[in-house]
Structure 1
Amino acid sequence: QKDGEDAASSSDTASDPASSLFNHWGHDLGPESRRVALKKFRYYGYNGYLSDRISLTRPIPDLRPDGCRNISYSSDLPQLSDIFIFVNEALSVLLRSVHTVIQRTPPHLLKEVILVDDHSSSLELKEHLQSFVDETNTQHGPGFIKLVRHDKQEGLIRSRVSGWRAASAPVVALFDAHVEFNTGWAEPILGRIKEDRTRVVSPSFDNIKYDTFEIEEYPLSAQGFDWELWCRYLNPPKSWWTLRNHTAPIRSPALIGCFVVDRKYFEEIGLLDEGMEIYGGENVELGIRVWQCGGSVEVLPCSRIAHIERAHKPYTKNLTAHVRRNALRVAEVWMDSYKSHVYMAWNVPLQNSGIDIGDVSERKALRSRLKCQPFSWFLSQIYPELRSYSDTVAYGVLKNSLRNDLCLDQGPDTDNVPIMYLCHGMTPQNVYFTSSQQLHLGVLSPTIDDDDNKCLVDVNSRPRLLECSYAATKHMKLTWTFAQGGAIQNMESQRCLELVESRQSEFTFQLAIQDCTGQKWTITNILTVLPQ
């Protein structure tokens, strides 16, 4: 019985993703095949039905920049242990990852492949994977593929460390088990690590579309993060563009997830933070730590890997809570006074957050032992594109005493009109009041390349949300006085942000800017004395 046909029922409660699977694929499938395909899709977050029907060693387009093919590498590059982490992966997807790394890595460079099964429940993986391992080891020599099985689920972070423990080659490559390796991926990375063992290197990623399994070329990027510590692709730094050489390594503030590192250096620098839970933030933490403690992180255009971006992540119900907890651990250990930015982005109180991040004393001792740089150094030297919010004096949700169940909300993205809405404390209700007396609403803009933050502006006595830089350039009315439990008053117009009764509004009140009547507003978290 195939995985996804037996186990999919447990995921049936998820919001039905059928429409997204069949948008570009499967129009000619009969009803029974559609049912099976959909169950597998719900279970894996990608098209397991199609994966089972395409070659494990299919050719994929060589997407390396011109010039990569002409570079020659040292004949004595270090050997590699390739580590794949998985839980309930589709067998065909896992095997394609393994087949393509064997097929597209020179045999003298690939010492071993390590498969870490983080306590999968799938019958397919239990029955068929061992026979594949035995078969391959008969062909390549005993121990060429090692299978490490966990007897309880440890999560991606601790699974990577257990893969590292099983490895014996001088260099380890830690990958997801839903990738396909491109021609010549290994030599550029091993060459860079041979030159300097303190480099942590990522390949450049392309996308395997989750529905059609077509390869989509991604632009060359660095890898960074926002203040919630979600990783994201970044435009390469100006210094890279000025080289006019698309084969040159790209300096990168952090890692998206898959990376290659000298095995012993990885231990010296502190592996991954095993106090983190499940998934999320570990790649950002590693990037920050490597840079602050004397190493470097880079992305190589000449090394390309295609990776499936799932339509949904099936392996944990409450991923956001894990990422938030992990992010707060990183903030406490590595970010000094900038830790407030992570708390602000997650809309969590800086003191008594109510979130147990576990014991971080070992990680703080590691930082001290390695004599690492402060986070301000990392921001100025490595990630100057990340916006700083040190001028924030208060943050959280903003409530009016007339209706304590309603919060200021950015409303629909399209019309730039703030509204009052039932409080949920998610991003659209995040308010930031600054020392320059601007009131920002919504997401904290991560980098200078992203759209600016939205500021509350008095436009002809109507509340509007406009990009702060635009409103400032146009000399609009965007500064406010605000005291906790007092009015929000525009400094230029002297009018106040208030609630007025309205039959049109879903909640009988709507926002207005009018002559002040003494309405009282409160914000959740105050960092310092509010400017008056």
Structure 2
Amino acid sequence: MKVRIRRWPRLLVILALLLITAFFTTLQYIEYEYANLQAEHYGHTQLFPMPQRVPLDYVMTGRDFIAGTSASERTDAWEFYHYNAARSDVIGALRALPDTRDVSCTARPYHFTVQHARVSIVIAFHNEARSALLRTILTLYHRTQRRHLHELILIDDYSDDGDLLPDMLNLKIPPFLRNFSSTSPTPMTLTKSSSSYFTSNSQAAPPTNTFSAPTEVTIKTARNTRRSGVIASRNRGARLATGDYLLFLDSHCEVNVGWLEPLLERLAIGEMAGAAGGVAGGAPIAVSPVLDSINAESLEYAASSKNLMGGFDWNLHFHWIPRPQSTQQSQQQEQQQQQEHYQAEAQESLASLNAKTAYLQQFGWERKRFSEARIHRDTNTAATAFKSPTIAGGIFMISRHWFHKLNGFNPFLETWGGEAIEFSIKLWLCGGQIEIVPCSRVGHIFRKEHPFHFPNGTDSQTTYLRNSKIIAESWLDAYKYFFYASKPAARDIPINNTHTQRSHQLKSALNCRPFSWYLQHVFPQLKYVRQSVHSDYLSMSCLCGCVCVCPCVLPNDDFIAFGTLSSGELCLHITNPQAVIERQLRMTSCFQNDITHWYLHRENAQLQASSGACLSVVTEMPTSATKLRNSTRSTHLRVVLQPCVVSADEHSQRPRSGNVGAARKRALSQRWLRRGGWLVHQQTQLCLDNPLSDVVVVSHCRNAAPSQLFRFAMELQRL
């Protein structure tokens, strides 16, 4: 009897804790539901995301499915997946994530038309760990409103694990996955039929001209009969989609709370703006979330900077680049327009908020975070979408209509590499734009290298180089030579006209802009390129159409090399075109603002300066000073600048024989050959030399002579 008396206080404490937990959980649920009541009545969403809660049955979901091919049993798990798949297997099918959004994102509703907010999510994968793929899917179900998640499309690109999709289709998912959006209490089961739903109580899909909030989600699966690559797999998934929007997602992601609504709102604003401008189907806008980092080793989730945007270099390699201050200032006007839109709707939101607060005060509880001050902070730059030159990490959402109108991803790009850059350039040039939405957060495992093998016996470098060449030939116009200068090996990779013909037809059909417009208005940061630590500096301000003192010249097929011409740490420079001839050429610092650019032509072998003159070798009469200085053959030859001579065929039809002979003689003195690192004067077979600090001469070619090694900033052929 005494023992039972001692247990009563403990039981009362436990019961009190349970009641308190249930009380606050109920209040959270009431708040969550009331914040979304108007969505059903007014036809638009005003979402205040619910705090994350992950019950135990969520964590334990799919244990048998994951154990089907446990990563811990593989001795080469890291080499196979290139992330810690064994740890992925043990952390659970779903986990709570830190809310990495700015506070201004959590204190405002998001407005868009529900009838046109059905999203088809396409996930293409090859040899993905079961736990990572399952976690990607469960986060989508747990943190996405069911009314917007129209369908999930899984494309297995011929993975080694052939039982993955069949095992997943038989997976039992607990009812809590419905995130309070479903009404049926039955557990959801994945079914293989592309026209069926997850639950056994399937209903026919609503007609396209009406809308009712669905309580189930369609899944469509497909397995490639051979390795096709992520590009072809994503295109296949897009063809299977029927939603209003397409969202492409990797198979090792975790979406965060409230991730979809900001993307839908930005697309809805773009569609309204396009409709006001007379554009059928709205403006072609692609939106990307901020990609938070999931550590490949520890799988720790960490917030990423909201001031990064996607870019690339002349190698056509993707890079994260900081958002420039000038870009932020240029978007202030657009942000003001968005602010007027939000403030107009803020009054309606406040009315709803006051009613909700009064309702919650009946329970003696009021949330301060829904204050009027914070609602008016929703136009803070931390919550405002900003433009990006390229799609962020290949994860983006776009109107299905516009994706197909732009011909999707280029089908001639093989396996993996460059598809996001190609689609980004195509979208910008053909009237669209790309924006990153800071209020949308998606975690992504960033692997340092690709774990999968490329088909047809090719390696990743060759495949990526071939894809990049197709992009350059399709969209870069004359700027493709900057790519060839960075990747001379790409010239040896064969492609045919069919690889670029489709892009050229699209450019003509949609009246797409030239690539120079992209450099000027979208990605001006690409104009400046540093090749290496050896002062190879190509000031592209002159080459890319900016106002400058030198003629604006774009490279072409006649160029062998161009840009600054350096030897060691110095560059060949024209000091003063008006000065006496012997003082025109000097070796000087490569970092001068007006440093001379040189262009080595293929047809006439002339080495032309940006001022228009050509590098020549002339014979001079030896003097006593020159005899004392050097007695070699090069003593009687000088490197000078002369007006460039056109070929004799380009002269007048009946030239004087004397003039033609003099022109031919002078033209021969302006011919240079590129042999390795040497610049060889064709007529004398002597090499350009820099024996002293600021002097250039010609002398006998010597192997391994550093003073005779010259580098152009951009080489268009292999040395």
TM-score by length of 1: 0.72
**Residue 61 of structure 1, aligned match among 95, 98, 117:** 98
Aligned 1:328-407 pairs, distance under 5 A: 328-348=469-489, 353-356=492-495, 359-387=499-527
Aligned: 1:323 with 2:464: yes
Q: Determine the structure 2 residue equivalent to 1:166.
A: 240
Aligned: 1:236 with 2:323: yes
> Per the alignment, do residues 330 and 4 of structure 1 end up closer, same or farther by CA in structure 2, a change over 3 Å counting?
farther
Deviation string 1:436-463 (CA, Å, 9 cap, x unpaired) is 5346xxxxxxxxxxxxxxx7438xxxxx
For 1:291 and 1:469, how far apart are their aligned partners in 2?
Answer: 40
Aligned: 1:135 with 2:189: yes
Aligned 1:133-532 pairs, distance under 5 A: 135-136=189-190, 137-139=197-199, 142=202, 144-196=218-270, 197=282, 198-220=284-306, 221-242=308-329, 243=332, 245-255=381-391, 256-317=393-454, 318-348=459-489, 353-356=492-495, 359-387=499-527, 434-438=562-566, 456-457=569-570, 471-473=590-592, 483-485=673-675, 486=680, 487-490=687-690, 493-494=694-695, 512-513=706-707
* Partner AA of 1:159 in structure 2: S
> Per the alignment, do residues 484 and 5 of structure 1 end up closer, same or farther by CA in structure 2, a change over 3 Å counting?
farther
Aligned 1:20-39 pairs, distance under 5 A: 36=73, 39=76
For 1:326 and 1:74, how far apart are their aligned partners in 2?
Answer: 39
> Per the alignment, do residues 183 and 388 of structure 1 end up closer, same or farther by CA in structure 2, a change over 3 Å counting?
same
> Per the alignment, do residues 349 and 258 of structure 1 end up closer, same or farther by CA in structure 2, a change over 3 Å counting?
closer
> Per the alignment, do residues 253 and 141 of structure 1 end up closer, same or farther by CA in structure 2, a change over 3 Å counting?
farther
> Per the alignment, do residues 153 and 435 of structure 1 end up closer, same or farther by CA in structure 2, a change over 3 Å counting?
closer
Once the 2 structures are TM-superposed, how far is the Cα of residue 347 of structure 1 from its aligned partner? Answer: 1.8
Kept in 1: contact 2:171–2:189 (CA 8 A): yes
For 2:444 and 2:77, how far apart are their aligned partners in 1?
Answer: 18
For 1:497 and 1:139, how far apart are their aligned partners in 2?
Answer: 82
Aligned: 1:71 with 2:108: yes
Once the 2 structures are TM-superposed, how far is the Cα of residue 51 of structure 1 from its aligned partner? Answer: 0.5
Kept in 2: contact 1:276–1:326 (CA 8 A): yes
Aligned: 1:47 with 2:47: no
* Partner AA of 1:326 in structure 2: N
Kept in 2: contact 1:207–1:307 (CA 8 A): yes
> Per the alignment, do residues 166 and 477 of structure 1 end up closer, same or farther by CA in structure 2, a change over 3 Å counting?
closer
Once the 2 structures are TM-superposed, how far is the Cα of residue 222 of structure 1 from its aligned partner? Answer: 1.1
Kept in 1: contact 2:247–2:396 (CA 8 A): yes
For 1:53 and 1:526, how far apart are their aligned partners in 2?
Answer: 51
Once the 2 structures are TM-superposed, how far is the Cα of residue 180 of structure 1 from its aligned partner? Answer: 0.3
For 1:510 and 1:114, how far apart are their aligned partners in 2?
Answer: 60
What CA RMSD, in Å, does the superposition of the two structures yield over aligned residues?
A: 3.9
* Partner AA of 1:303 in structure 2: S
Q: Determine the structure 2 residue equivalent to 1:402.
A: none
For 2:689 and 2:129, how far apart are their aligned partners in 1?
Answer: 58
SS for the counterpart of 1:365 is: helix
Once the 2 structures are TM-superposed, how far is the Cα of residue 268 of structure 1 from its aligned partner? Answer: 1.1
Structure number with the higher helix fraction is 2
SS for the counterpart of 1:107 is: coil
Deviation string 1:151-202 (CA, Å, 9 cap, x unpaired) is 1111111111111111111011011111000111101111111122411111
Kept in 1: contact 2:406–2:427 (CA 8 A): yes
Once the 2 structures are TM-superposed, how far is the Cα of residue 258 of structure 1 from its aligned partner? Answer: 0.9
For 1:380 and 1:74, how far apart are their aligned partners in 2?
Answer: 33
For 1:171 and 1:338, how far apart are their aligned partners in 2?
Answer: 33
> Per the alignment, do residues 260 and 520 of structure 1 end up closer, same or farther by CA in structure 2, a change over 3 Å counting?
closer
For 2:133 and 2:469, how far apart are their aligned partners in 1?
Answer: 32
For 1:96 and 1:165, how far apart are their aligned partners in 2?
Answer: 25
Once the 2 structures are TM-superposed, how far is the Cα of residue 129 of structure 1 from its aligned partner? Answer: 2.2
Deviation string 1:260-314 (CA, Å, 9 cap, x unpaired) is 0101111112211011100111101111111111011111101010101123311
**Runs of 4 or more off by more than 6 Å in structure 1?**
1-8, 474-482, 496-501, 519-528
SS for the counterpart of 1:271 is: coil
* Partner AA of 1:40 in structure 2: A
* Partner AA of 1:241 in structure 2: Q
Once the 2 structures are TM-superposed, how far is the Cα of residue 71 of structure 1 from its aligned partner? Answer: 2.4
Once the 2 structures are TM-superposed, how far is the Cα of residue 523 of structure 1 from its aligned partner? Answer: 9.0
Aligned: 1:101 with 2:140: yes
* Partner AA of 1:201 in structure 2: V
For 1:229 and 1:51, how far apart are their aligned partners in 2?
Answer: 32
Once the 2 structures are TM-superposed, how far is the Cα of residue 124 of structure 1 from its aligned partner? Answer: 5.0
* Partner AA of 1:139 in structure 2: T
> Per the alignment, do residues 82 and 298 of structure 1 end up closer, same or farther by CA in structure 2, a change over 3 Å counting?
same
For 1:324 and 1:2, how far apart are their aligned partners in 2?
Answer: 38
Kept in 1: contact 2:565–2:713 (CA 8 A): no
Kept in 1: contact 2:101–2:440 (CA 8 A): yes
SS for the counterpart of 2:381 is: coil
For 1:469 and 1:213, how far apart are their aligned partners in 2?
Answer: 51
Kept in 1: contact 2:70–2:86 (CA 8 A): no
For 1:135 and 1:174, how far apart are their aligned partners in 2?
Answer: 23
For 2:66 and 2:134, how far apart are their aligned partners in 1?
Answer: 15
* Partner AA of 1:207 in structure 2: S
> Per the alignment, do residues 66 and 344 of structure 1 end up closer, same or farther by CA in structure 2, a change over 3 Å counting?
same
Identity of aligned residues (%): 27
Structure number with the higher strand fraction is 1
SS for the counterpart of 1:379 is: helix
> Per the alignment, do residues 335 and 522 of structure 1 end up closer, same or farther by CA in structure 2, a change over 3 Å counting?
closer
- Which protein has the larger Cα radius of gyration, Structure 1 or Structure 2? 2
SS for the counterpart of 2:254 is: strand
For 2:404 and 2:593, how far apart are their aligned partners in 1?
Answer: 53
Note the residue ranges of structure 2 that are not aligned, 5 or more in a row: 1-63, 173-187, 191-196, 203-216, 271-281, 333-379, 537-559, 572-586, 599-614, 616-638, 640-671, 681-686
Q: Determine the structure 2 residue equivalent to 1:30.
A: none
* Partner AA of 1:144 in structure 2: T
Once the 2 structures are TM-superposed, how far is the Cα of residue 246 of structure 1 from its aligned partner? Answer: 1.2
For 1:104 and 1:240, how far apart are their aligned partners in 2?
Answer: 32
TM-score by length of 2: 0.54
SS for the counterpart of 1:67 is: helix
Kept in 2: contact 1:269–1:290 (CA 8 A): yes
SS for the counterpart of 1:212 is: coil
For 1:89 and 1:349, how far apart are their aligned partners in 2?
Answer: 31
Deviation string 1:370-394 (CA, Å, 9 cap, x unpaired) is 10000000100100110267xx9xx
Deviation string 1:32-74 (CA, Å, 9 cap, x unpaired) is x6xx465211111111111110122201111112211122112
Q: Determine the structure 2 residue equivalent to 1:118.
A: 157
Kept in 1: contact 2:112–2:264 (CA 8 A): no
SS for the counterpart of 1:147 is: strand
For 2:319 and 2:424, how far apart are their aligned partners in 1?
Answer: 13
> Per the alignment, do residues 208 and 484 of structure 1 end up closer, same or farther by CA in structure 2, a change over 3 Å counting?
same
Kept in 1: contact 2:291–2:444 (CA 8 A): yes
For 2:70 and 2:460, how far apart are their aligned partners in 1?
Answer: 20
SS for the counterpart of 1:279 is: coil
